[in-house]
Amino acid sequence: MFTGIIEEVGAISRRSGAEMTIMAEVVVDGLKEGDSVAVDGACLTVAAVNREDFVVQMSPETIERTTLGRARPGDAVNLERAMPADGRFGGHLVLGHVDGIGRIEAILPQGEFSLWRFRAPDEVMKYIVPKGSVAVHGISLTVVEPAGDTFGVAVIPVTMAKSTLGGKHVGDAVNLEADVIGKHVYHYVKGTNQGALTKETLARYGFM
């Protein structure tokens, strides 16, 4: 479980098939084999830890469904360790299970801030709601003006400075994860789990 608050921007130093070595300073502190780390928003398991880097192994699903499949040595990546039970919850519930790959559609300066628009696949957009939460490359952001297959987010200067967004451009691909609470509500209402949520269903289980 993560919060979408990036702890550090690391760099991929080595890539060999499904295995990546990532250089880091903050994230390696207390990290051990078997721990989870969100890398650009994708939850990965640590295979080894050294003083200045750590190793992760990617599943075929991760390689196929996230931007990490195209990652190369030298690429910067957003990093966040799994949240401790007694930690401060600064963002929103982020599982590190990427729903789809989106693309930056526009970056519109608004004084010190900027409005970013992303084009997203249907498997993400169906869960996007105004003022809801979304993780973009692992960053917890608030949705602004979803319309069709795009949505916006307001990005503050500190987010630009402390994540890889500062180096992104229009057309770049990003990992997207919709809010897990919204996903569960959607599936129950739409009836993909145990039938649709109707008045009859509520009455059957004693809620009416």
Q: 20 and 71 share a domain?
A: yes
Instruction: Report the DSSP pairing between strands 100-110 and 36-39.
Output: unpaired
- In the chain, the number of structural domains is 2
pLDDT of residue 195: 57
Residue 172 · residue 87 · CB < 8 Å: no
Per 3-state DSSP, the chain is made up of helix, strand and coil in percentages (nearest 5) of: 20, 40, 40
CA distance 120 to 72: 23
Residue 196 lies in a domain: no
Residue 13 lies in a domain: yes
The pLDDT tens digits of the residues spanning 43-80 come to: 999 999 999 999 999 999 999 999 999 999 999 999 99
What are 114's strand-pairing partners?
A: 109, 155
The pLDDT tens digits of the residues spanning 152-179 come to: 999 999 999 999 999 999 999 999 999 9
Full domain range(s) for residue 30: 8-81
Q: 104 and 185 share a domain?
A: yes
Looking at the predicted structure, is the pLDDT value of residue 100 above 90?
yes
- Take residue 2 and report the two structure tokens written for it: 């993560």
Q: 122 and 166 share a domain?
A: yes
- Take residue 54 and report the two structure tokens written for it: 């750590």
The pLDDT tens digits of the residues spanning 185-200 come to: 887 777 655 556 667 7
Decide: pTM greater than 0.85. Answer: yes
Residue 94 lies in a domain: no
Q: 111 and 77 share a domain?
A: no
Q: What's the mean per-residue pLDDT of the chain?
A: 93
Residue 59 lies in a domain: yes
Q: 104 and 77 share a domain?
A: no
pLDDT of residue 184: 83
Q: Residue 2 has what DSSP assignment?
A: B
Q: 37 and 112 share a domain?
A: no
